[in-house]
Structure 1
């Protein structure tokens, strides 16, 4: 079989005969590519790409055989099972049935330093035993499901969400592959916590990244994400959403700005995205909230 060169997993699926199988793709700045692919039975081998690729089987398959970088396998898969393909390895995969996969591709150039830092320099792609195994992980499946749900609600994931989700998933993959990440080092120092929250509030309208926040705290992105959660009780992305909703409430209460303008002021791409987020957190639309807080009778009922 002749392969055409592809620099990434997403690029491979966007060209040639494989392009017709692609159902969805989202990529926030090349940090983490999310793809959903519906493929027929047959040979689905591909060339080497410089990504670590995590795949979740959404249907199950009576027989899958090939090599994802960890040696030959011949297995039956179930709905929700996971597998990982090694970077820089030309995979061979033959499926006996049509199937649907959700895949997360981690560009190696963007994640190598995170893996080195998290594993104290002990991580090796050559020695990891995770490749080609069909395995189950409720933690990874939950993280992938949450990522997809947020994509459906808010569009392409933010750089903060993509980096934080990637750190969480890679930590679990490395643990399953026999190379646990270094233990967490406690919470953020008070000065670091204060400066990070100030930066979040100052840049609500920006696509702020985990790397930006980590730099403010003088930490690696991986360690910062875990230490932030220890200090604040939730991941950085969740806290940023809380700050945005808080700011939206304030602007709805005290300004006459249109909802579309408010959405842009706090970093959402449209009033529809803001409405979905706000409804999830406040159980009413931004317009209904504005009416309620400005009507004394309805405001009392809300309290």
Structure 2
């Protein structure tokens, strides 16, 4: 491994002579960095950075050769395929066609503690995964969700960003032959009760997994898994349920605008609330309000 020459992958890409290739950059809560670039054929090698970086080839059909930290490779890429680059490694990559890439960078200061804990006290490393081209429906789905939320909302919540990032890292660990430790047993009753109360009390805020875990006196890694075993769904899903319940209550009992309700339940705009509400209630907030206040409309909408 090489000592990192730049603090982060994103900084190297956006502050140097690569900046003209950048088409999109999002950084939800500093937890993850999402980058999309469009480049001509040629050398896309870079110096060592401290981040783990996952690449997705959006076009495919290019011959790619180099070393991303797991030994030399020479392959033809396929549309949608992924490749993982090791942290603290000066990567080499040559592509013989113009290409469009999405990158997901994990800043290690945000993830190191959780990854070491998930590795059961061992040092986190995935030598079997670095540099190979692979497909993963689970990673593709999680990354697509993150990208969609970034395009529509500017940035997903920090809780969702952490959850999506960990889901992707768990899949990478599985592919790299280092599956994460299994957590057995749920939360203590007091911890389950307190974490639910905390979500209700701060429904309008962008709370984090770390804050929830601290309320239960657990690490984020163990809290997330124990919460799911106790409640049946991950914290981010439970939080969305609470927000939908509160939204329905406010639509039924107040004359607050949809924009005001969105802010009250933790969404940045009425458009974001409408999108989530439609997904879970199969109608818009406005139609829901009309339906509950005029029952004949509810029959027509069903």
Q: Describe the SS at the equivalent of 2:36.
A: strand
Equivalent residue, structure 1, for 2:213: 214
Shift, 1:157, TM fit = 1.6
CA distance in 2, matches of 1:299, 1:162: 35
Shift of the alpha carbon at 1:218? 1.9
Q: What SS is found at the alignment partner of 1:168?
A: helix
**Taking structure 1 as reference, are residues 302 and 190 closer, same or farther at Cα in structure 2, changes over 3 Å only?**
farther
> Following the alignment from structure 1 to structure 2, what is the Cα–Cα distance between the partners of residues 191 and 128?
41
Aligned to 2:250: 251
Aligned position for 1:45: 45
Instruction: Provide the residue aligned with 1:97 in structure 2.
Output: 97
Could you tell me whether the CA contact under 8 Å between 2:23 and 2:36 is conserved in 1? yes
Q: Deviations over 1:143-181 (max 9, x none)?
A: 212222333343302110111112111122122222221
Q: Does 1:65 align with 2:78?
A: no
Q: Report the counterpart of residue 83 of structure 1 in structure 2.
A: 83
Regions of 4+ moved over 6 Å: none
Displacement after TM superposition at 1:254 (Å): 0.3
The offset of 1:188, in angstroms, is 2.2
Distance in structure 1 (CA, Å) of the matches to 2:224 and 2:78: 32
- Call closer, same or farther: CA 1:176–1:250 in 2, change over 3 Å: same
CA contact (8 A) 2:6 2:50 kept: no
| 2:36 paired residue number | 36
The question of whether the paired residues in 2 share the 8 Å contact of 1:27 and 1:157 is answered with no
- The 1:110/1:226 distance shift into structure 2, 3 A limit, reads same
Query: Offset at 1:96?
Result: 0.6
Q: Offset of 1:5 from its aligned partner?
A: 5.5
Classify the secondary structure of the residue corresponding to 1:208: coil
Larger mean CA deviation between 8-17 and 246-255 belongs to 8-17
Q: Is the 2:247–2:265 contact (alpha carbons within 8 Å) kept by the matching residues of 1?
A: yes
- Between the aligned partners of 2:21 and 2:281, the Cα distance in structure 1 is 38
Q: Secondary structure at the match of 2:28?
A: coil
Size of the alignment, in residue pairs?
Answer: 299
Answer yes or no: is the 8 Å Cα contact 1:278–1:285 preserved in 2: yes
Distance 1:70 1:128 in 2: 5
- How far is the alpha carbon of 1:205 from its aligned partner? 0.7
Q: Distance in 2 between matches of 1:161 and 1:136?
A: 23
The one-character-per-residue Cα deviations of 1:99-154 (angstroms, maximum 9, x if unpaired) are 121211000111110011111111343x6321111122222222212222333343
Report the alpha carbon displacement of residue 302 of structure 1 after superposing the two structures with TM: 6.0
For the aligned residues, what is the CA RMSD? Answer: 1.9
Secondary structure in structure 2 of the residue aligned to 1:54: strand
What runs of 5+ residues in structure 2 fail to find an aligned partner? none
How far the C-alpha of 1:16 sits from its partner, in A, is: 3.1
Q: Aligned partners of 1:121, 1:61: CA distance in 2, in Å? A: 40
1:199 aligns with 2:198: yes
**How far off is 1:203 after superposition?**
0.6
- TM-score, length-scaled by structure 2: 0.93
**Displacement after TM superposition at 1:49 (Å):** 1.1
Question: By how many angstroms is 1:246 displaced?
Answer: 1.1
